[in-house]
Amino acid sequence: MITIIDYGMGNLASVINAVRRFGKDVQISSDPISIVNADKLILPGVGAFKDAYYEIERRGLRESIMEFIGSGRVFLGICLGLQLIFTKSYEDGEHKGFNIIKGDVVPFSAGKGLKVPHMGWNGLAQRAQTKSGDCPLLHGVPDNSPMYFVHSYYVVPEDKSVVAATTEYGTSFCSMIHKDNIYAVQFHPEKSQTQGLRIIENFVRL
């Protein structure tokens, strides 16, 4: 069973519809037991980092997510779901994250004619190899394929070898990571048409 976590801040309908294109065995859940027992887990999210972390804690889901990831089963974070697994965020102050991937979540600088939030289509420049080898979620996805982004903050991993892809928007930022059983993306693959859906399909087929 692929479980999509519901903590009140995810774009759940588009994510589950994308996953169902490639597999019927999927559910949305806010139950800690269902999360721990999932075969694969997706943490989506839109909105503020602090509010998302609070909701996950309030619903008793953080420990279940941590236990699932620690088990070695496949995890996918989308947008805010990428940021939450990092050490801390500087969105509206300094706030702790799950600290699964060491690093910070930092803001874009609204300069050089850039609009913040970063909203729209930008290319995904694939890294040749991450610490865990070639990223299987990118199999069959052409380099520099456009993906759909909506965010004002981006992640800065301490260990650059976890970076699976980068994107240019005023600066070159990490837009995808892969480490062991952990995959996470800053963009929205469920909204990124053919190549985004290929990433979802690759995840389902893992």
Q: How far is it, in rounded angstroms, from Cα 12 to Cα 76?
A: 14
**How big, in percent rounded to 5, are the helix, strand and coil portions of the chain?**
30, 35, 35
| Residue tagged active-site, from 118, 151, 178, 188 | 188
Q: In which residue are the tokens 């859940």 written?
A: 29
β-bridge partners, 105? 89, 155
In angstroms, rounded to a whole number, what is the distance separating the alpha carbons of residues 38 and 79?
21
Q: Is 79 a catalytic residue?
A: yes
Query: Among residues 91, 178, 190, 201, which one is catalytic?
Result: 190
Tell me whether residue 158 is one of the annotated catalytic residues: no
Active-site pick, 79, 91, 118, 135: 79
Q: Can you say how many angstroms the Cα of residue 122 is from the centroid of all Cα atoms in its chain?
A: 16
95 catalytic? Reply is no
User: 111 exposed, middle or buried (CB, 10 Å; 0-12, 13-18, 19+)?
Assistant: exposed
Catalytic residues: 79, 188, 190
